[in-house]
Structure 1
Amino acid sequence: MNTKKVWLITGASKGLGLSLAKKLLDEGYKVAATSRTVESLEIEIGTSENFLPLEVNITDETSVSNAITKTLETFGTIDVVVNNAGYGQWGTLEELTDSETRQNFDVNVFGALNVIRSVMPHFRNKKSGHIINIGSIAGFNGIFPSLGIYCATKYAMVGFTESLSAEAKEFGVKATIVYPGYFRTNFLDKSTLSLAQNPIEDYTAARNSEHLHKTEIDGKQLGSPEKAATAFIQLAESENPPLHFFMGSDAFTMAYNKIEILQNELRANEALSKSTDF
């Protein structure tokens, strides 16, 4: 009997989602994967009886719900959901329009919430399941000029993952927020970069950050997508997976540095912090 878990991965035609889908299929898991087109999934992954490619608009609740239904009809169950769909929006808070900002939240935040809302009835009924939300180290350390809105979407994902873990615990459902560092995917490719439509020349720190990421970091990232896929599987197979998982030595180091800053500020301002009590 095949007891391997059934996975649903959003945004699986590229990046970490694609590497994970390929690894899972190679190891005999059943995988439902979403992208904006089925063709993009079939080109990158191919076809097999264990693979269900799904055309999904992650921002459309009906489209997401239909994908969950189709997955259950095809495989009978879902065990692990990976909310991977998302993109990086570049631009300072002043530069980005309301439309650009809302679009990034629609995909990165509300898209993931659409998936969670649609899959939770199944998880509640079977009293098990694992939701892995792919955040970013930028959702823990937000000091990245020109990435404020992207950081905000990932901070939001951290917040609702923490709440989800508390809400769903009574049903045996687990939640993990993953904070990847820099991985050698197409995240920084010119074809996937979303830059501000109305850049302001005065923001030199933001322009320097964008230039650095495009010319110095892209192609030299420390993280291996294939090794990330192995880590995701280990998380899902763990009896007690962590709520917070920092992935990559760079993310690990940045997290420690942020924690040290917080500890120093807590100590330095302890008296003032506590002075507001009755």
Structure 2
Amino acid sequence: MSDTRIALISGANRGIGAAVAQVLFNAGWTVSLGMRTPQMPDWAEDAPDRVHVFAYDAASEKSAQDWAKAVMETHGRIDAVIANAGIMIPKTPIEITDDEMAQLLDINVQGPRRLAAACWDGLKVSGKGRVIILGSLSGKRVKSARAGSYAMSKFAAVGLAHALRHTGFEDGIRATVVCPGFVATDMALAISDRAAEAMTDPKDLAAVIQMLIELPNEASVAEFCVNCQLEESF
């Protein structure tokens, strides 16, 4: 078994996931990067032994299981899971089709649940496993009609994090849902007129996630909200 803590990060090819991967790597973690098209990042050149890439599909239960198995076989441990992969379909609950709604729920809710389940036994081993669900402030309030369907999926993701927190608490697993507002990623920039510099920097969100997964069991955080503007989240 490796002596270095290892974190699995889904959706690690860009945006928040890529930022989390780099921040954790720089903090001394080994990172396993779940990507649709695996590619070793440039920043990993100095210590490629601490970066593992895997072809991960958030819509596939087998993909989650295969990823967890590969990490356990290679590194012998799983210390943290950051379930970041997600999609946005900007439609009202009236406009959206059954297939589109099913896709939102599958990727944004079932995907994190499947990944946590696949990693669960590994997370138990150290007695201080960590699960981060990337939620959204859209999981705390519905800000607009066209964000409504996405918000429904993120409300469910918030519930998932709380359910995981209860499920794993006695085994030392701590689950937290991180709920950001606008983050300067391709997804947010595509649906907002706000300039990137007026949004939360992905690296700042990554620093929050690092802090959360490094807290001791006695400092459990159920929800962490981050916003780039003054706004009520409930």
Gapped regions of structure 1 (runs ≥ 5): 191-209, 259-278
Which residue is 1:261 aligned to?
Answer: none
Which residue is 1:171 aligned to?
Answer: 171
Aligned residues with identical type, % of pairs: 25
Q: Which runs of 4+ in 1 moved over 6 A?
A: none
CA radius of gyration, larger in = 1
Residue 205 (structure 2) pairs with residue 228 (structure 1): yes
SS in 2 for 1:25: helix
* Mapping 1:223-262, distance limit 5 Å: 223-239=200-216, 240-250=219-229, 253-255=231-233, 258=234
Counterpart Cα distance in 2 of 1:124 and 1:237: 16
Q: How many angstroms does 1:229 deviate by?
A: 1.4
User: CA offsets, 1:11-67, max 9 Å, x none?
Assistant: 00111110111122223210001011113xx25655511000110111111111000
Task: Report the residue type matching 1:156 in the other structure.
Answer: A
Distance 1:46 1:127, change over 3 A: closer
User: CA offsets, 1:159-198, max 9 Å, x none?
Assistant: 12112111211111101011111111111355xxxxxxxx
* Mapping 1:1-278, distance limit 5 Å: 4-39=4-39, 42=40, 48-190=48-190, 213=192, 216-239=193-216, 240-250=219-229, 253-255=231-233, 258=234
Task: Report the residue type matching 1:64 in the other structure.
Answer: A
SS in 2 for 1:49: helix
Distance 1:140 1:57, change over 3 A: same
Aligned length: 229
SS in 1 for 2:7: strand
Considering only aligned residues, what root-mean-square deviation do their CA atoms show, in Å?
Answer: 1.9
Gapped regions of structure 2 (runs ≥ 5): none
Aligned 8 A contact 2:198 2:228 in 1: no
Distance 1:189 1:249, change over 3 A: closer
Aligned 8 A contact 1:19 1:226 in 2: yes
User: CA offsets, 1:88-115, max 9 Å, x none?
Assistant: 1101111111111111111111111110
